[in-house]
Amino acid sequence: MAKRRMRKRKPVRLKVVRRILDSLKDNLEIKDDFSDVFLEIAEFGELNLLLGNRTPLVMTINRPEDLGKIESVIFPTLRGLLRWNLEIRWCAVDRGAIPFLMNGADCMAAGVQMVDPNIERGDLIWIRDEEHGKPIAIGWALLDAQEMNTATKGKALRTIHWIGDDLWEIDN
């Protein structure tokens, strides 16, 4: 894959990104007023980013058509997850899956240990380490929560962002 780079980066006022922030509050229960944050928007490949103090915190991405209705999905980046400690839309993987996820591999069902019971196929979810609960990657759920818990083979998640990828490595 070609290396993505940030384009069309520009500062914005809070009222310009209010829709994104309201979506985070309503859908993901993230409560942050952003009053003390320097906000910017930028394009990064297929992602639209919201940056806070030069750090990518939120991404907007279109759901792939093979996973349901095509629509824009607003979700925190890994740095955003570290800032807000999100407790919904997650799955936990065992220690053996971590090296593969950190290289950008899709998450296999055999590595999934626990799942938020409200996950449905086509949701954008975050993957966390079973032991520490820290975010490792973000991906599209290919199975619903019940199937993910019981499946022993095949892909469970299509990874789009992980620790060490070009989005994670954006210079602050």
pLDDT digits (tens, 9 = 90+) for 34-87: 889 999 999 999 999 999 999 999 999 999 999 989 999 999 999 999 999 999
**Helix, strand, or coil here: 143?**
coil
Q: Is residue 169 part of a domain?
A: no
pTM of the model: 0.94
User: What pLDDT, on the 0 to 100 scale, is given for residue 35?
Assistant: 87
Return the DSSP state at 109: G
Domain range for 70 is 6-162
Number of domains present in the structure of the chain = 1
Q: Is residue 168 part of a domain?
A: no
What does the chain come to in residues? Answer: 172
Instruction: List the single range of 22-36, 75-89, 155-169 with lowest mean pLDDT.
Output: 22-36
Q: For residue 13, what are the contacts with CB-CB under 8 A and spacing of at least 6? A: 39
Per the listing, tokens 């936990």 go with: 92
CATH code of 104's domain = 3.10.400.20
Asked if pLDDT for residue 1 goes beyond 70, the answer is no
User: What pLDDT, on the 0 to 100 scale, is given for residue 172?
Assistant: 54
User: What pLDDT, on the 0 to 100 scale, is given for residue 62?
Assistant: 96
Asked if pLDDT for residue 171 goes beyond 80, the answer is no
Q: Is residue 76 part of a domain?
A: yes
Pick left, alpha or beta for residue 149 (phi over 0 → left; psi -120 to 50 → alpha; otherwise beta). Answer: alpha
Asked if pLDDT for residue 10 goes beyond 70, the answer is yes
